[in-house]
Each structure stands twice: as C-alpha cells, then as structure tokens.
Structure 1
Amino acid sequence: MSERIPALKLNNAEKRGAAEKRRGRKLLWIVIALFVILAIFLFLRSDLSKITEIEISPSVYTSEEEILQASGIRLKDSFFTVDAKKAEEKIGQLKAIEKASVVKKFPGMVEITVKEYKEVALEMDGQGSTLLVLSNGLSVPLPEGSVLPDMPVLTGWKPDDPARASICAALGGMQSSLLKDLSQISPDPSNAYPDRIKIYTRSKFEVVTTVSRLAGKMTLLSEIVENREPGRVVLLEADTYLPYSAENAPETASQAETSE
C-alpha cells in the first residue's frame, strides 16, 4: 500500500532567503521603472522631442507666413502632439491652396508641401490691371515681372456668377495645348441655354457651347481645332461645324454672277 509523502517544510533561514529574493526582484523593477520614467522626462524636455525645423515648399500666391499660421505648427512645439492631418485640413482652407501635405520626420522636422490651384485664365479688374484666374475661380494679381501667359481672357462675367466658377473648373481640366489656344470666353445666355457661352480661339475659331457641356466637349473641340480650317463650331444638343470658307462661298458666287 502506497503512502503519501508529506511536503518538506522550509526552515526559517530558507524562508528568509526566499523573502529577500522577492524583495530584491521587486526593488529591481522599481529601479527600472524609475529609470524609464526619468529617461522619458529628460527626453521630453530635450530638443529631440521638439520641432526644430519647419520646411515649406515654394508657392506663388500664398506666402510661407500664411501657410505656417494656418497650419498651427510652431518651432519648439512637441513633435509627438502635432496632428499632421488636422494641419493639412487647415492649410487646405487657404483660398489658393488645392491640396496640402504635412509630413513629420524624426527628429524634429516637419515638411509642408502645398499645391495651388491651376492658372486657367486672365481678366481685368476695375482699375485696368490684369489678374490671373485660378481653377477655383479665385482672381490673384499677376506676379511682378512675369510675362502674360497664353490663356483665355474672361470678359463680361460677374465675380459672384456661379457659371464663372464652373467655367474655371472646366478650364482646369483642359489640355494645355487647347487652353493656350483659347483667346476669349464670354457669357452668351439665351432662353433655351441660360449658361451658353461664346469662345474665340487664337486659331480663328468661334465656338458656341454651354458651361455645363464644355468639359464633355473638350475632346471634340480639340480635334476640330487641330485638324479643321477655321470656322464656326456649335456644341449644344447637336454638334455642328461650318468653315468660314463655306459661309462665304454663296456670297462669292453671287458676286461673280453679278459681274458677268
């Protein structure tokens, strides 16, 4: 018959030794924790945890001061508490800025990159000065010393006209070659087409379309301008093209008959 062997009891010396080991391990963990806390405290107070450099990409119509102020980021701010996404949203609210990117690079650097709206047109202000118009409809002064770009001139538009903003957005998506060929864009509303516009090109075309149709007609317009002789183009419900030579043909024939 098997007998149960009783557990060995530790004597007093062994008990004291085990207790001292537990206290030693506990003390070691306390020391490590204090060291970690001290290291974190010293790190947060050092320049390694602060923003020491802010780099802003060049922009034409928005100053570095405006971008920096909108971002809310300052030198010596905590590197870890800066919210890059929030800063991007704030910078994106500036009128000329289409998109902003804020990137943090440890240690201490913040890079801010902005993309401004595309230049799409020109217009004259009330004092006769030339302004550049961006694709969001914003008018900005022409940079000092710059040459007038080949862009359409907006004439006859009211600044608060929603159609003006729409035409600028459409021009922003236009191919550079076609945009450079446009010389003038004016509103030409009718009862049937309240947003009708008239466009003149440097290649001697006269184009009638609407603001709402322009974006969808760009490919066709580009093909006509590049491959046909100058004439009148109507891009509405039906698309028509008539060269000026055909318009003048009957008149020429009539003159010839009269002379005979």
Structure 2
Amino acid sequence: MAEKKVVSIEDRIPKLKQARKKKANRRLIFYLSLFFILIGLVGYLQSPLSRVHTIEVSGNNYVDEEDIIDLSGLSTSQNYFSVNTDEVESKVKKHLEIEKVSVSRKFPSTIIISVEEFSRIAYIQEDNDFYPLLENGATLKSYPLETMPGDAPLLVNFTKQTYLQEMTKELSELPSSITNLISEVHWQPSEGNPYKVWLFMSDGFEVDGSIRNFANTMKAYPSISAQLDRSTKGVIRMADGGAVFDPYENIEKQGNDGENEDEVEG
C-alpha cells in the first residue's frame, strides 16, 4: 500500500500567499479599470465629442429643413445623451403641415428627425399670394407662396368656407394621377345649384361638374378624355349618370341648348 504524501504547513503557506496575492491583484486591476473608465466617461461627457454634431431631416417635401430644425430646438451645442426625443417630436409636430414625427439617435453624434407631411390638396389665392390647403382641411395662412407650385389645383372664388371644405375633402379622395390633370377649379354657384364647379384641365379640356360626388365622378375622367379627339377642344359636362362632350364650336354657334352634343361613355 502506497504511503500518502504529507505536505507540511510550512510548504502550504507560500502557495496560499501567492494565490491571495493574485486575487488581490485581479481585484486591484478591476477597480483601477473601472476608475479609469469612469474618468474617461466623465471627460467624454464634458468634452465637445459628446455634443450633437449632425442633425439630419428626412421625409420632408414641402417644409423647409431649417424650419424643422428650428422647431425641434436642437443645436450642436447640446449634449448628445441629454436629447429628449419625445420632447423634440412634440415640438416638431406643432407644424400644421407635419402629420407624424420620429426622432432617433445614430451614434456617436447624429440626431435624425423623420417626418411625414400632410398632402397638399389644393391652393387658394389671396391678393398676390398662394396658400396651400392640406388634406386635413387646414389652410396654411402662415406660409404664403409668391408663385403657384403647380403640384395641386388652384381653387378660385370659393368664398364660403363650407363649400371650400367640401371641395378639399372630395379632392383628397382622388388619386394623384387625376388631381394632377386639374389646373383650376372655379366655384360657380347658381340659384338652383350651389355646388356647381367649372374645371380647367391640363390637357386642354374644361369640365362642367359638381362638388357633390366630385371624387367618384372625376375618377372616370381619364377614360372619358381618352375617347375624345385631342384636336377638338370643348367642355365635358360630367354627372353621376355619365358625361357629354360639347365642342367649343357648338357652344359658339348654338349656345348651351344641348344640341349636337356628343355623349361619351364613362
């Protein structure tokens, strides 16, 4: 039977001391590392490196980038980590033309403001300025334009707010492929029909229509105009039941007595 090796206490003490020393060294390195990390973090937070260096704006088609940044309250003197994204979103959304806002960070020093705007459905003219009408019914009186952008129809003579709002609602329900064909919409109420409108189209035709069911009626316009001879201009009189084309030459010769009008299938 093999004899057990007996280790004296004198032999074990150096090994215990060495193990304890290694453990103490590891602990010291850990605390020193943590200390220098904290010192570095404090130094970073107090240095220009921790400031916002770039503010990016995306999704804006109409609202100027500088206007959005001004509304946000952000600046390059601000600490990157102190930016309250919810507060910035709330500030930017105060702009009447902005529907949705999302603010995010991109490390190490960029703030991104992403917006979604309300569509511009039409414009109205007052004096020499043009004002956008939004899909939510708001008129941007604070943002006058000196020239007509041409990306939506001009509404003319809508002197009553009720009919203006109804017209705006109907236009918002039309696809852009059709609203892009409309240059001007004139409100021409008569004693028997306060909803009567007259349209000037970008393809050279005019349309005699109504605010009532305007969106549903005008959806048939592309197929109707496609059946007409582009060299013969005139008025397309549109109604829920269909459409009639009245050439200018017939209007000049016979007035609006309804004779020699060409029925067009919707």
Matched, 1:169 2:168: no
Question: 3-state SS of the aligned residue for 1:205?
Answer: strand
Q: 2:157 aligns with which of 133, 155, 160?
A: 155
Displacement, 1:39?
Answer: 1.7
- TM-score w.r.t. the length of structure 2 is 0.67
Question: 3-state SS of the aligned residue for 1:93?
Answer: coil
Displacement, 1:178?
Answer: 4.4
Distance 1:120 1:12 in 2: 89
Distance 1:59 1:116 in 2: 8
Distance 2:224 2:110 in 1: 52
5+ long unaligned stretches in structure 2: 229-233, 261-266
Contact 2:102-2:113 at 8 Å conserved across structures:
yes
Matched, 1:231 2:233: no
Moved more, 226-235 or 153-162: 153-162
5+ long unaligned stretches in structure 1: 254-260
Q: Which amino acid letter does the alignment assign opposite residue 200 of structure 1?
A: L
Displacement, 1:130?
Answer: 3.7
Distance 1:6 1:217 in 2: 105
Q: Which residue of 1 aligns with 2:221?
A: 221
1:198-249 deviation digits (Å, cap 9, x = unpaired): 3423412212252xx44444431232234346331113xxx32122369969
1:13-36 deviation digits (Å, cap 9, x = unpaired): 333222222212211111111121
Contact 2:130-2:148 at 8 Å conserved across structures:
no
Question: 3-state SS of the aligned residue for 1:222?
Answer: helix
Question: 3-state SS of the aligned residue for 1:121?
Answer: strand
Q: Which residue of 2 aligns with 1:133?
A: 132
Q: Which residue of 2 aligns with 1:257?
A: none
User: Residue 222 and residue 20 in structure 1: after superposition, are their counterparts in 2 closer, same or farther (change >3 A)?
Assistant: same
Contact 2:200-2:206 at 8 Å conserved across structures:
yes
Distance 1:94 1:214 in 2: 30
Contact 1:123-1:133 at 8 Å conserved across structures:
yes
Question: 3-state SS of the aligned residue for 1:244?
Answer: strand
Larger proportion of helix? 1
Distance 1:219 1:147 in 2: 25
Contact 2:55-2:113 at 8 Å conserved across structures:
yes
User: Residue 17 and residue 204 in structure 1: after superposition, are their counterparts in 2 closer, same or farther (change >3 A)?
Assistant: closer
Displacement, 1:184?
Answer: 1.8
Aligned residue pair count: 239
Question: 3-state SS of the aligned residue for 1:198?
Answer: strand
1:154-182 deviation digits (Å, cap 9, x = unpaired): 423434764254245336x432x643434
- TM-score w.r.t. the length of structure 1 is 0.68
User: Residue 113 and residue 197 in structure 1: after superposition, are their counterparts in 2 closer, same or farther (change >3 A)?
Assistant: farther
Contact 2:133-2:168 at 8 Å conserved across structures:
no
Contact 2:124-2:133 at 8 Å conserved across structures:
no
1:134-153 deviation digits (Å, cap 9, x = unpaired): 33332445434x35748332
Q: Which residue of 2 aligns with 1:26?
A: 27
1:106-139 deviation digits (Å, cap 9, x = unpaired): 43233446565444433233xx344232333324
Task: State the superposition RMSD in angstroms.
Answer: 4.2
Displacement, 1:80?
Answer: 2.8
* Percent of aligned pairs with the same amino acid: 17
Distance 1:216 1:48 in 2: 58
Question: 3-state SS of the aligned residue for 2:96?
Answer: coil
User: Residue 22 and residue 71 in structure 1: after superposition, are their counterparts in 2 closer, same or farther (change >3 A)?
Assistant: same
